[in-house]
Chain A
Amino acid sequence: MRGGDYVIRRVGFALLTIFVAITINFFLFRVLPGTVVTDLARVPHATPQLRHALTVQFGLDKPKWEQYLIYLRELARGNMGISFATQQPVSQLLLNDLKNTIPMVTIGTLGAIVVGIATGILSAWRRGSVSDHLSTNLAIAFYAFPTQFLGLMLLILLGGLLPTSGMENPYAGVFGTQSTVARLQDIGLHLILPALTLLLTLYGEFTLIMRSSMLETLGEDYVLTARAKGLTDRRVIARHAVRNALLPIATLVALSIGWIVGGAILVEYIFSWPGIGQALWQAINQRDYPMLQGGFLILAISVVVVNLLADLAYFKLDPRISG
């Protein structure tokens, strides 16, 4: 397949996927029973007039198809709407949530990728050894741990040594002075437990896949040839095995990176991290359609774009596709 055709087809498919996601996002949440008016109109001496006023304000009195067309039109103008619950612009709310989420989830996810790949390589290299058994079993154990359980254990065990909630010490800069370095240090300390929880729950998957991929690669003829040429183990692993074994893990890495903007709701919940995961969970409970549509749109776009990049990388890396 020619490179240009391949890129055009993948980009076209990505755009179609995003459009389908936009449409599903719109209708999916409206299928849920109850609306935001149900919550907001339950005030003392609530009247049918108040319910009607809220319904009109949110445009919920219009037919679904009309709401859908308005949504598409506003989206095309870059307007994600106003949150039903907070009455603030969705784009601004999501931006704030993303700013909180991305550093924590990125550190946790990238840490998991690095640790997972490294332990996978070591396990495969020392196959059958004590370190292999230990590493593999630990990876399986952490992979199997429910996130909330692991997070709570870390919170209880390390509470007092490390901050267990929030993103910063809110008081330092207001009821006293705080240097920039001290503030960065404070934020860093607050990051440790949530990022560590995420790292531990994610890394096992990478370990197991990398180990399996490496073992497959180490059995290939070209690795045997390399050994026969008298190359050292380290050189065989680094130059011949790892590079080829990384190919299957590229998809998993892409998926993980794509999900970074989706947050990590359980980790955010345990460590009171005000990220996008919690915001979307709250929006579901409140039937806050604009927030849900905006949040899931960003999530869909990020997953699709990162997968597109992974596809393009495959084209470059795997001669079977480009050839």
Chain B
Amino acid sequence: MRLRTRRIRMALAAPLALATAAAVASCSASGAGSGSSGGVLHIGTTYPIDSMNPFVAQSDYSYAVYEYVYPQLVQYNARLGIAPDFARSWSVSPDGKSWTFHTVPHARWSDGTPLTAADVAWTINEVMKYKNGPAGQWAGLLEHMTGATAPNPTTVVIRYSTPVANVLAQMQSMSVLPRQVWAPYFTGKGSGLKTFPNQPPANGKPMVSGGPFELVRYKANQYALFKRNPNWWGPKPKIEGFGLQFFSNADAMVQALKDGQVDFVGEYTPPTAVAALKKAGFAVTTTPSISMKTFIINTNPHKTTHRELLDPRVREAIEYATDRSQIIKTAWLGLAAPGSTIIAPADGSWHDSGIKALPFDLAKANALLNAAGYKMGPNGMRIAGGHPMSYNVIFPPDERGTGDRTFQIMQSDLAKIGISISQQNMDDSATFNAISHDSYRTFDMAMWDWVPPVDPDFMLSVVTCAQLGNNSDSGYCNSAYDRMYAKQSTLISTSARRALIGQMQRYLYAAKPYIILDYPDIIEAHSPKWTGFVVAPVMGSVNSLSTQTLLQVHQS
């Protein structure tokens, strides 16, 4: 299941210290330097903008665009720490319920209208009014929020009903909208909020922007072109502009890079293209990501069929029979890291490095199943509760390719311990329907993935009881875990939260609703004529986490 990065993008150890603009500069990526100014960076991607309306969009690149055309209070730096953006500094009240942000003075929108803290408060308060309706996509960002005020043009105070651990991550994901454009739509039932296309007007003028670039032309499913925002209040980008060109498939995108039609290909360059691109002289960057591939085992305690899957020894045996090294070598050509817990190592200190995945050991897997009393049947398949241990694995389109090869490896190894699995292909909507059908009582196994935000809150939430029928793809529901989840979301102390999140990861690893197979690398490539890319563990260089890449990128 892909969760686009926009939905809660961050929050690594959100430090409560005052930050300064210098922090951004100090975290600049390697490669950024004093290259020649100007030029237009041609970017290729296989994930098109699906809508320019932030209350409708689902696509990664829609949210990357918002990062560059709308102000956010904070952004991530290259080390996934929180850095200033429109807010130059911030503080939190002793009770943890009130956050004060001090914004950039004398800023303006691209149309010349003043951009102040009042715009931030207005956006928050208006979205709150419609969060159970047309602005529902933003509801997660406003959890426990009671309102915002702007006592002066450079101060905004946001209040919460309870302490919230990941406020800074939420603010990184929330765009400040231009009131002069959006006010007519925040009226009545707010029905216009979702139908407003939010594109450059027909008169040829660019879309109103408060970020470093402004959208000058957009053609759905084809391209989006951006120029520098002349009124941008931050450091001037080195490039004159950039374009996002959308490709239907990765082969065509890679070919376009080779042909010089694009300069840079981002997210999801196929692993099979890496060797050829390097040979052709392109700069190929691979970096660990926080996304993960999962083998899901239905752990719903109310499961009605194949209840042997609720036996921890069966799930442990399946993990022992999972050859992660072979999967990474064969399916990923080495461009992935072995999986263990639901918070990836690339997520920094949130990851509990003490959790070690079980090694590939078929003898131990067989011994576990023998000890549990699942006897081998006449056709080499074990018997559980009078039926063969044979299961369907629900398989969505996201898993095609590398997932197919992974499945084949697992199928072959599981057969050696007397468990048969077969692939059940279906599209995304049908996949979720098949998993959640009959309140998660009937499905057995699935393969899927998660591309979570940087802050661990979301990833930890998907296995809570509250997410059954929503984001849960495992049927897992445990009240002790839910209590831990609720507590971590209120811990303002980073170290206390980190400790509890470590405990939650260990708890889940033991329960095994997922066998985390691997963490695929981010792979991207660019022409050697360009430099200054800042790679992030989500989406790569051009992402919805920060504006660093397109402020720094320049011709070599």
Contact = CB atoms under 8 A, between A and B. Distances in A.
A284 B430 CA distance: 11
Contacts of A287: 429
Contacts of A284: 427
Interface string A245-278: 0000000000000000000000011111110001
Interface in B131-188: 132-134, 136-137, 139-141, 143
B19 interface: no
Interface string A55-85: 0010000000000000000000000001001
Interface stretch (B107-115, B254-262, B286-294): B254-262
A51 interface: yes
B111 to A, nearest CB: 19
A42 B221 contact: no
A35 interface: yes
Contacts of A88: 195, 197
B45 to A, nearest CB: 11
A50 B223 contact: no
B429 A45 contact: no
A322 interface: no
Interface string A229-259: 0000000000000000000000000000000
A167 interface: yes
A36 B429 CA distance: 8
Interface stretch (B116-124, B238-246, B382-390, B535-543): B238-246
B248 to A, nearest CB: 4
A272 B225 CA distance: 17
B223 A43 contact: no
B221 A86 contact: no
Given A44-B458, A87-B194, A285 B429 contact: yes
A41 interface: yes
B430 A32 contact: yes
Nearest to A278: B248
Interface stretch (B24-32, B212-220, B309-317, B501-509): B212-220
Contacts of A39: 58, 428-429, 432
B493 interface: no
A128 interface: no
A314 to B, nearest CB: 39
A43 B249 CA distance: 26
A46 B470 contact: yes
A167 B222 contact: yes
B252 A51 contact: no
A181 interface: no
B470 A274 contact: no
A156 B276 CA distance: 13
Interface string A150-193: 00100110011001111100110011000000000000000000
Contacts of B134: 57
B240 A155 contact: no
Contact of A170 (B140, B223, B471): B223
Contacts of A54: 136
B248 A272 contact: yes
* Interface size classification for chain B: 35 or more
Interface string B1-37: 1010001100000000000000000000000000000
B220 A87 contact: no
Contacts of A45: 139-140, 143, 461
Contacts of B458: 44
Given A50-B136, A159-B255, A165-B256, A34 B432 contact: yes
B470 A51 contact: yes
A225 interface: no
A35 B428 CA distance: 10
A278 B1 CA distance: 22
A98 to B, nearest CB: 13
Contact of A272 (B247, B432, B471): B247
B46 to A, nearest CB: 9
Given A49-B132, A171-B42, A160 B259 contact: yes
B221 A278 contact: yes
A39 B132 CA distance: 17
A141 B195 CA distance: 48
A133 to B, nearest CB: 34
A95 interface: no
Nearest to B191: A57
Interface string B413-455: 0000000000000111111111000000000000000000100
Given A33-B430, A82-B195, A87-B51, A42 B470 contact: yes
A270 B252 contact: yes
B248 A270 contact: yes
Given A38-B429, A268-B248, A164 B259 contact: yes
Contact of B252 (A49, A271, A278): A271
A46 B471 contact: yes
B139 A165 contact: no
A286 B137 CA distance: 17
A129 interface: no
Nearest to A287: B429
Interface in B31-68: 40, 42, 50-51, 53, 56, 58
Contacts of B252: 155, 164-165, 270-272
A35 B50 CA distance: 18
Contact of B471 (A42, A53, A159, A160): A42
A94 to B, nearest CB: 12
Contact of B56 (A49, A50, A53, A86): A86
B425 to A, nearest CB: 13
Interface in B252-272: 252-253, 255-256, 258-261
Nearest to A165: B252
A47 interface: yes
A257 to B, nearest CB: 25
Contacts of A171: 40, 42, 225, 243
B251 interface: yes
Given A44-B8, A152-B251, A271-B252, A175 B40 contact: yes
B4 to A, nearest CB: 9
Interface in B343-386: none
Given A165-B256, A285-B428, A87 B222 contact: no
Given A86-B50, A170-B223, A274-B221, A43 B139 contact: yes
The 9 closest A-B pairs by CB, nearest first: A34-B429, A44-B140, A34-B433, A274-B221, A170-B223, A46-B470, A33-B433, A45-B140, A50-B136
23 contacts: A33-B430, A33-B434, A35-B429, A44-B461, A45-B139, A45-B461, A46-B140, A57-B134, A82-B195, A87-B56, A87-B194, A159-B255, A160-B258, A164-B252, A165-B261, A166-B223, A170-B222, A171-B42, A174-B225, A175-B40, A272-B252, A274-B219, A287-B429
Interface of B: 1, 3, 7-8, 40, 42, 50-51, 53, 56, 58, 132-134, 136-137, 139-141, 143, 194-195, 197, 216-217, 219-223, 225, 227, 240-241, 243, 245-249, 251-253, 255-256, 258-261, 397, 426-434, 453, 457-458, 461, 467, 469-471
